[in-house]
Amino acid sequence: MDPQQYLNPETFTLLGQYLLQGVGFLIIVFAGRFVASRLRSTIRSKLQRPNVDQTLVKFGSNITYYAIFILALFAALEMVGVETASFVAVLAAAGFAVGLALQGTLANFAAGVLLLVFRPFSVGDYVEIGGEDGFVRDLQLFYTKIDTRDNQLVIVPNSDVFGNTIRNVFAYDHIRVDCAVGTDYPADIDATREVLLEAAKKVDDRLTEHGEQAALLSLGDSAIIWEVRIWARPDDYFRLKQELTRVVKYTLDDAEIGIPYPQMDVHLDSPNGEPA
């Protein structure tokens, strides 16, 4: 076999063409990776601010990186003559299969993205979500971490968070503090209201511009049910709720208005039907 037959101009032309395609493939891939990395770093550095959520920044920058890199990879494959349509079809089929297998995880991911976009609460807020209540410690793409008031960590899947009612307790700069209490039936209603309002006014650090209330809720089986209401700043809520409950009890005691226990009247009849 004569090696000279492989060293003709056509062979060198093909080798040169393949070499140029290979070099072009590598240049496009590395250039795409370089641009994607620089753009990701630029996004993170420009948005490294206290008032910008860093979880959302990391998520957006990573999505940008992979989107640019994948586009560059497909462009490089097209340059060397590889049909990318088949790859797209395979990726779509694989994505569909993975989506069926991980539908719960993808639901958490989608809910996490929506939570990051719509921002119904922020880290540090006191919330009631997914049957749990506490301070939001962290918001990830798949789950939300909550610190309860007794210092327990609760991890709630984001699909449970976004798919249920979200109560952001301290979303505003003031919140109402309530204290429910029952009083004796013999006590005069108007006098009891004045005593309860006096108790509410004894609470220091309340927001006086919002006033106070003693609302008559209902006539219960054993007591007249009231609700004493004041307003407070979110940081003072739990402390003032304790203080309000304390002063209501002591003020009712000083006014000699009882807080009755649940009670029931029992009537006994004699065998002949007459009261015993």
Q: What is the DSSP string of 49-112?
A: -TTS-HHHHHHHHHHHHHHHHHHHHHHHHHHTT--SHHHHHHHHHHHHHHHHHTHHHHHHHHHH
* Structural domain includes residue 226: yes
* Structural domain includes residue 4: no
Provide the β-strand partners of residue 77: none
The pLDDT assigned to 218 comes to 93
CB 212 within 8 A of CB 197: yes
CATH of the domain at 130: 2.30.30.60
* Structural domain includes residue 2: no
- What is the Cα Rg of the chain in Å? 35
User: Rounded to whole angstroms, how far apart are CA atoms 165 and 272?
Assistant: 59
* Structural domain includes residue 135: yes
The pLDDT assigned to 185 comes to 92
CATH of the domain at 63: 1.10.287.1260
The pLDDT assigned to 123 comes to 85
Q: How many domains does one find in the chain?
A: 3
The pLDDT assigned to 274 comes to 61
- Residues 94 and 26 reside in one and the same domain: yes
User: Rounded to whole angstroms, how far apart are CA atoms 66 and 164?
Assistant: 32
- Residues 216 and 157 reside in one and the same domain: no
**Last residue in a domain, options 101, 130, 148:** 101
pTM: 0.60
Low-confidence ranges of the chain (pLDDT < 50): 1-2, 102
* Structural domain includes residue 108: no
- Residues 191 and 242 reside in one and the same domain: yes
- Residues 186 and 214 reside in one and the same domain: yes
User: Rounded to whole angstroms, how far apart are CA atoms 196 and 226?
Assistant: 9
User: Rounded to whole angstroms, how far apart are CA atoms 120 and 155?
Assistant: 17
CATH of the domain at 197: 3.30.70.100
- Residues 161 and 181 reside in one and the same domain: no
Provide the β-strand partners of residue 134: 127
The pLDDT assigned to 108 comes to 82
Provide the β-strand partners of residue 226: 181, 216
72-94 residue pLDDT tens: 887 877 777 666 666 666 667 76
CB 142 within 8 A of CB 112: yes
* Structural domain includes residue 68: yes
User: Rounded to whole angstroms, how far apart are CA atoms 158 and 202?
Assistant: 43
The pLDDT assigned to 240 comes to 96
The pLDDT assigned to 79 comes to 73
Total number of residues shown for the chain: 276
- Residues 195 and 249 reside in one and the same domain: yes
The pLDDT assigned to 130 comes to 76
The domain of 90 spans 13-101
* Structural domain includes residue 137: yes
The residue type found at 104 is: G
Selection from 59, 61, 217, 225 nearest residue 142 by Cα: 59
* Structural domain includes residue 268: no
- Residues 183 and 239 reside in one and the same domain: yes
